[in-house]
Structure 1
Amino acid sequence: MRINFYEIFVNLLIKNKKPARKLKQLPIDEIENILVYSNTAIGDTLFNTPVLKALKEKYPLKKVIIILNPINYILFKNNPYIDEIILYDGKWKSFFSTLSQLKKIGRIDLTLILHSNEPQATPLALLSNSKYILKIPNKSKFSIYHNNDEIGPYHDRHGIFDRIRVLEYLNIKDVNPRMELYIEKENNDEIEDFFLKNNINKDKDFLIGFQIGASTISRMWFEERWIELGKKLLNSGKDVKIIITGSPSENKLTTKVFNSLNDERVFNLAGKFNLISAAALIGMLDVFITPDTGPLHIAASLKVPTVTLFAAAKWYVSNPCFDQDIHLYVQKDRTCEPCVGKNCKFQECMLQISADEVFDKVCTLSKLK
């Protein structure tokens, strides 16, 4: 077993910290600075955007500082409900340098741990001397340091609603769960320039996005099915053009589908643009077909209709919980019990999803039939 000396040292530092006083409401008049932890994946950070908006709209004079992941912070730097950004990758090696940045803030009245990694997040909040700390869900050994009671996650509702619950302690209710993403004009211009040079007319063509990759194998559909679906769409008799999206690391995967379709109406743009311009690209699509992964939430934030493929995960936990008439899904049951999740090597459950099913969902959104 590997010994983590960072963790041992941090545990010693917080050993004498007193358990937090449990409160039903925080004294909001005492709070000027609010530090928000949201430094994990793209989707999880987008899930937190309704909280940021509600917080700033209710208390516009409070300063909101957010801790973001260096990998994806560029997506959120233009959010008008954020006053200051601190970057932290959630790893032990960056723990003390991040702590140093937090101490430079001065007084931290309230920390909201919306989505971050333990065992780093709560110790970081404690050592930065935050007066109040809220976290939901928080069923762990660290819950004694949170000012809210120990609360588990919702298992039958979208993940956004777990994040929104923390606002009840600040007398904020009836929060709109809509996610938001703010794209700069220069990023939209970059995509429009690419479209012009490649004979893509977003007014005339019907642009269908293929997000082939996902964070885990268990969520990914099979390449052969993407190819079958692509052929059906291209043969639909409409002005269809297929835009394959993805990160640079997914290019090998997308290239196989692109080469197999072998059609001038298909564009493999995986890794072509930086993250914020790739989001702008997704925002210009007519329909986005995707597994349960970050780009799904980008599309939903930009009001792009989606068809999402679920088997290992449940649709009601992460498929958009707003604009549901334009966010369709295909849900299949797990074929393996217990599901090994991130350790899956062959996603048998995703074989249940046929190209015909997905094609029909796209037709519902696009009136291809």
Structure 2
Amino acid sequence: MGDFSRKIFFTLLGKVFRNKPKSVPLEVSKNAKILIFRYDKIGDMVVSLPSFEFLKEKFHDSEIWVLASPINFFLLENYPYVDHFVVLHKGIFKKIKTLLQLRKVKFDFIINYVFYRTTKAGLWANLINPKAIKVNMGHNTRNEIYSKLFNVLYPISLRGKIPMSELLCQYICWLFGFPYDKEISKSYFINVPPESLETARRFISTVPGSRKILINISARRKWSSENYKRLVSLIIQDFKDLGIIFVAHPSDYETLDEIVQNFNNNVFAFKSGKDFLDAIALVSLVDLVFTPDTSIVHFANAFGKPIAMMYYEKDSYLNEWIPNKSKFICFVSGCSNNYNDISPEDAFEGIKALLE
């Protein structure tokens, strides 16, 4: 959609929805109902948890709802700081059912955390309750048109400058008039089921070494199996006390087996199948994590584990996705489709620095 067409489209939406600007801080009445949009990826949900906790602690009499996705809602199961969650499934009939369910609640506030496809979020917010106060991240050039869908636009000045968990906590503090303390954004409650912890503990007890490193090979951008093999050789050579554990998505098990079989009993593969919670439990028990850019970074950060991670240099707002709690080293790749320009030697030096 071109700029002119977009302006016409949003002008028409403005006449339909008639959203009036609201000033901050917003007043929250007792028993208010607050809906947050977080219908995207697993890592996005992880970095949102501190802001959910802060919001619930400040407004404990309010109902906190989250509109989640089919892949990230599991983090809200038995989660004490969100009262209700609804999953936004694919398919027009399922979406209509979800919309009708949410319309019945009559939310007072709808806060968007999905900062792309803003039009979709705005339309959903207005269809759920046109009378709710609707909030979104501002934009460098589109605030005039976004104001047709939202009552409040958060200033964009911090985008790309601080980790996302900090940005979201500042978002909430600004919106409701609370002073911001960076410690707020470091409080992650992740409910790992006891059975997953027990599975992870049983496995880790079979891995020799007084310390353990977890190496994840699965992500959209790959590092070659030869690079992983070389990295493992360097680790074994210098760190006799370090147990090496590999994890992967089931689609990468063939590559995982190829890597591990080269090292006899010195390297171990943890295959959790479809139960990602077992892998999350394992992250909570190891001493260091090495991984490409994926949700494993955010889980390791939530548990305060040192992280060596690989990122693409041209990722939008890269600074938003770095850890805010753990010690970390970030290896930045210039390749658009893999991380193979990062050498195993450089990766090893980073891991060595974190271990020492």
TM over 0.5: yes
1:112 is displaced (CA, Å) by 1.1
Residues 24, 177 of structure 2: 8 Å contact kept:
no
Superposed, which structure 2 residues align to 1:69-218 within 5 Å? 69-89=69-89, 94-104=94-104, 106-115=105-114, 118=117, 119-129=119-129, 131-137=132-138, 139=142, 141-149=145-153, 151-152=155-156, 154-167=159-172, 168-175=174-181, 176-178=184-186, 180=188, 181-196=190-205, 199-200=206-207, 204-214=209-219, 216-217=220-221
Call closer, same or farther: CA 1:151–1:191 in 2, change over 3 Å.
Answer: same
State how far apart, in whole Å, the 2-side matches of 1:42 and 1:277 are: 15
Q: What residue identity is the alignment partner of 1:115?
A: V
Aligned mate of 2:233, from 221, 231, 234:
231
What is the CA-CA distance between 1:72 and the residue it aligns to? Answer: 2.5
Match of 1:358 in 2: 347
Q: Which residue of 1 aligns with 2:278?
A: 277
CA offsets 1:267-309 (integer angstroms, 9 cap, x no match): 2224435122210011111110011211110111111111112
Between the aligned partners of 1:40 and 1:110, the Cα distance in structure 2 is 20
CA distance in 2, matches of 1:279, 1:165: 27
Check whether the contact 2:293–2:310 (CA below 8 A) recurs between aligned residues.
Answer: yes
- Number of aligned residue pairs: give it: 335
CA 26–132 in structure 1, closer or farther in 2 if over 3 Å, else same: same
The one-letter code sitting in structure 2 at the alignment partner of 1:164 is C
Kept in 1: contact 2:309–2:331 (CA 8 A)? yes
Q: Aligned AA for 1:235?
A: Q
Q: Does 1:56 align with 2:56?
A: yes
Verify: 1:21 aligned to 2:10, yes or no: no
Equivalent position of 1:298 in the other structure:
299
Aligned equivalents of 2:41 and 2:259: distance in 1?
26
Question: By how many angstroms is 1:14 displaced?
Answer: 8.7
**Structure 1: stretches of 5+ with no match in the other structure:** 2-10, 336-343
Give the whole-Å Cα distance in 1 for the aligned partners of 2:165 and 2:19.
Answer: 28
Q: After superposition, give the CA deviation of every residue in 1:115-159 in whole Å (9 maximum; x if it has no partner).
A: 276343221211111511111245474442212137436123222
Kindly indicate whether the alpha-carbon contact (under 8 Å) linking 1:191 and 1:280 is maintained by their aligned counterparts in 2: yes
Determine helix, strand or coil for the equivalent of 2:254: helix
The structure-2 alpha-carbon separation of the partners of 1:127 and 1:88, relative to structure 1 and needing over 3 Å to count, comes to same
Q: Which runs of 5+ in 2 are unaligned?
A: 2-10
> Could you say if the C-alpha distance between residues 79 and 37 of structure 1 is closer, same or farther in structure 2, counting changes exceeding 3 Å?
same
Q: Is the 8 A contact 2:24 2:176 kept in 1?
A: no
Distance 1:143 1:55, change over 3 A: same
State whether residues 40 and 90 of structure 1, in contact with CA within 8 Å, keep that contact through their aligned partners in structure 2: no
Residue 294 to residue 143, structure 1, CA distance change in 2 (3 Å): farther
In the aligned structure 2, how far is the partner of 1:95 from the partner of 1:12? 24
> How far does residue 316 in structure 1 lie from its aligned partner after superposition?
2.8
Identity across the alignment (%):
20
Q: Distance in 1 between the 2:77 and 2:64 partners?
A: 13
Cross-structure match for 1:338: none
Worse-matched range after superposition: 69-78 or 292-301: 69-78
CA distance in 1: counterparts of 2:187 and 2:318, whole angstroms: 17
Distance 2:91 2:289 in 1: 33
Distance 1:179 1:357, change over 3 A: farther
Moved over 6 A (4+): 11-15
Give the partner amino acid of 1:20.
K
Preserved contact between residue 33 and residue 62 of structure 1 (Cα < 8 Å): yes
Q: 2-side partners of 1:90 and 1:161: how far apart?
A: 30
Q: Secondary structure at the match of 1:149?
A: strand
SS of residue matched to 2:186: coil
Q: CA deviation at 1:85?
A: 1.4
Contact 1:233 1:359 in 2 (8 A): yes
Provide the C-alpha distance between the structure 2 equivalents of 1:243 and 1:72, rounded to a whole number of angstroms.
Answer: 25
Q: CA deviation at 1:254?
A: 2.4
> Which residue identity does 1:145 align to in structure 2?
L
Letter in structure 1 aligned against 2:169: I
